[in-house]
Amino acid sequence: MTPGERRGGCRTTAAESAVAEAFRQEWGKIVASLIRMTGNWDLAEECTQDAFAAALTKWASDGVPDRPGAWLTTTARNRALDRLRRSKTEAAKLQEVAVLSVPEEPAAWGDSGVPDDRLRLMFTCCHPALTLEARVALTLRTLAGLTTAEIGRAFLVPEGTMAKRLTRAKHKIRDAGIPYRVPPAHLLPERTTGVLAVLYLLFNEGYSASAGGDLMRPDLTGEAIRLGRLIAGLMPDEPEATGLLALMLLQDARSAARLDPRGELVSLEDQDRTKWDRAKIAEGIALLEAALRRQRAGSYQVQAAIAACHAEALTPDATDWAQIALLYGQLRTFMPSPVVDLNRAVAVAMAEGPEAGLALVDELAATGELAAYYLLPATRADLLRRLNRGPEAAASYRAALNLAPTEPERRYLAKRIAEVSG
Amino acid sequence: MRYMLLMCGEETAPENAPHPVPDGDDAEPCWMPWAREMQARGVLLVEGSQLQPTSTATTVRNSGHEVLVADGPFAETKEQILGYDVIECADLDEAIYAASRHPVALAGGVVEVRPVLASV
């Protein structure tokens, strides 16, 4: 049944949009609390799904309840109780007792001191004993409420494969005794880093797709930002969580300018900066400043600071490249990586001239560490082009073309080859 | 929950040689500090031991018609199972901690953590 086929026009639409809104707000909360009560991940997901299905018809006929979240939670919980009662197994009986002994609505829902169920869920989904792919998929399924088919599409994996991956991960959580909790203090720093890494991976998968014809998948960046807001809100004392949210917002603010009308990649330098989302930039910078005031810098805060330098420049010439080069130097202490060194070389080239940058890039190329990374020859080619060394630039662009992962990137490089060869 | 920790490493490496039983009254085997630390955390050491080298291993199969006995471990790999411990603890995080502090892990070996199916 599509919305148009339903009778009752306006009311149906109002109910549908209320359900859609409640889905965004409540899905993860309800799944997380049902998992806490029953310890049964599949039951939690299915009953939550049933509650939303029931809301679609019930709210259309009776109107939207005053507290949609409470209505959905109660419906899902009762549904879980029904199913456990009908089941005759011992395990189900124990789970039923557990559900009945839990107060229907925790009094201090999300208050500080009482860990929010969603935080438990997030840490459990991102447990290091699961594969990285499983962590990402579980987070999207249980916290964000994406369907198995949607997650499969996002990662270019058939739905059946994704379903198996999710089932296997849930079984491992149950059978290997992965605890459903926010880790204790001695594990918290490393596990928090793990959760943030999963969210940033999710964001990057959406922001620069690693495969396929699309350069960006806004559904994934949107989910990553939403979950980033959640964890930054739930962990207010963790400046890196806020730093990650700031970083994602500042990068995402540029998304409308990253592709031209034909879907071609536009370099940062050539982007129409009036298309940058000023509200997201302002929010990102405010979050970054709040995080930095805690005086515990980390890689996400430094990366957000770099993104802020770009975001604050109204024209490419106004960019404070010297500051960016400094920040990349700082980033190396948190995150030693040849990719960071490559970015620092670009910043140095902008601050001090292409010669200085090229020297750093060649140093990096000599180590062989980035041999398969298309941005190394692409960067080298750009610097050679600026130095008017056309034939060498063309050769480097061609090397980059062979390594570039997506179509738009390959088209961009082909365009550059034509320019320097012409 | 009950977990089996399987210690894996190259059995020919000197650090993985069978530990001699120490002489003297005060002497203790090298795993004793680990066992004490685990006990203090509430991790119960059910049992465990080093194993004799894979040169002593025998592999047994039953084809349905006959019992096939062969010399050697079930898989010839670069690393071998050196020993095992069975522990009883709260959850996987505790088991991971126990594994990470085990002398074999500290000496660069790998510890496989496997939940025991039926915890008695």
pLDDT digits (tens, 9 = 90+) for A298-337: 999 999 999 999 999 999 999 999 999 999 999 999 989 9
Q: What would be the CATH architecture of the domain defined by B2-14+32-115? A: 2-Layer Sandwich (3.30)
Residue A198 in tokens: 């999963």
Residue A42 CA, chain-centre distance (Å), reads 24
Given this model, what pLDDT does residue A197 score? 92
A–B CB contacts, 8 A cutoff, strictly below: 23
Sign of the alpha-carbon torsion through A279, A284, A289, A294:
positive
| Contact (Cβ atoms closer than 8 angstroms) between residue A38 and residue A174 | no
Chain-chain contact of A187 with B93 (C-beta, under 8 angstroms): yes
Closest residue in chain A to residue B90, using alpha carbons only: A177
Query: In degrees rounded to 5, what are phi and psi of residue B26?
Result: -85, -20
Residues 6+ apart with CB under 8 A from B98: B3, B5, B38, B41, B43, B85, B87, B89
Q: What is the largest CA-CA distance in chain B?
A: 54
| β partners of residue A265 | A259
Strand order across the beta sheet in which B80-88 lies: B44-50, B80-88, B2-9, B110-115
Residue A179 contacts B, CB cutoff 8 Å: yes
The DSSP H or E segment spanning B111 is strand B110-115
Residue A292 in tokens: 């930095």
Q: Find the CB nearest A179 among B92, B113, B115.
A: B92
Query: In degrees rounded to 5, what are phi and psi of residue A28?
Result: -60, -40
User: A179 to chain B nearest CA, in Å?
Assistant: 6
Cβ atoms < 10 Å from Cβ of B27: 10
* Residue of B1, B92, B100 best to disrupt the A interface, most CBs of A under 10 A: B92
- Read off the pLDDT band of B31 (50, 70, 90): confident
How far apart are the C-alpha atoms of A250 and A316, rounded to whole Å?
16
Chain-chain contact of B91 with A179 (C-beta, under 8 angstroms): yes
Looking at chain B from residue 57 to 96, which residues have their Cβ under 8 Å from any Cβ of chain A? 90-93, 95-96
Cβ atoms < 10 Å from Cβ of A279: 9
Residue B111 contacts A, CB cutoff 8 Å: no
Chain-chain contact of B91 with A187 (C-beta, under 8 angstroms): no
3-state SS assignment for residue B103 = helix
The DSSP H or E segment spanning A14 is helix A9-38
The whole-chain average pLDDT of chain A stands at: 89
Sequential DSSP letters for A50-82? HHHHHHHHHHHHH---S-HHHHHHHHHHHHHHH
Given this model, what pLDDT does residue A215 score? 61
Residue A185 contacts B, CB cutoff 8 Å: no
- Read off the pLDDT band of A112 (50, 70, 90): very low
Chain-chain contact of A175 with B115 (C-beta, under 8 angstroms): yes
A178 contacts in B (CB within 8 Å)?
Answer: 91-93
A171 contacts in B (CB within 8 Å)?
Answer: none
Given this model, what pLDDT does residue B86 score? 96
Domain residue limits, chain B:
2-14+32-115
Q: Is the predicted pLDDT of residue B108 greater than 90, yes or no?
A: no
Q: Is the predicted pLDDT of residue A235 greater than 50, yes or no?
A: yes
Residue B25 in tokens: 């009254």
Given this model, what pLDDT does residue A7 score? 46
pLDDT digits (tens, 9 = 90+) for A171-200: 999 999 999 999 999 899 889 999 999 999
A127 contacts in B (CB within 8 Å)?
Answer: 92
Given this model, what pLDDT does residue A212 score? 53
Chain-chain contact of B92 with A183 (C-beta, under 8 angstroms): no
Given this model, what pLDDT does residue B77 score? 83
pLDDT digits (tens, 9 = 90+) for A25-49: 899 999 999 999 999 999 999 999 9
Residue A298 contacts B, CB cutoff 8 Å: no
What is the rounded average pLDDT of the residues A53-65? 94
How far apart are the C-alpha atoms of A385 and A298, rounded to whole Å?
35
User: B41 to chain A nearest CA, in Å?
Assistant: 13
Out of 1.10.1470, 1.10.260, 1.10.1740, 1.10.357, select the CATH number for domain A3-101: 1.10.1740
What is the rounded average pLDDT of the residues A218-239? 91
Q: What is the largest CA-CA distance in chain A?
A: 78
ipTM attached to this prediction: 0.84
Q: Is the predicted pLDDT of residue A104 greater than 50, yes or no?
A: yes
Domain residue limits, chain A:
3-101, 116-235, 253-319
Residue A356 contacts B, CB cutoff 8 Å: no
Given this model, what pLDDT does residue A155 score? 79
Q: To the nearest whole percent, how much of chain A has pLDDT over 90?
A: 70
Q: Is the predicted pLDDT of residue A106 greater than 70, yes or no?
A: no
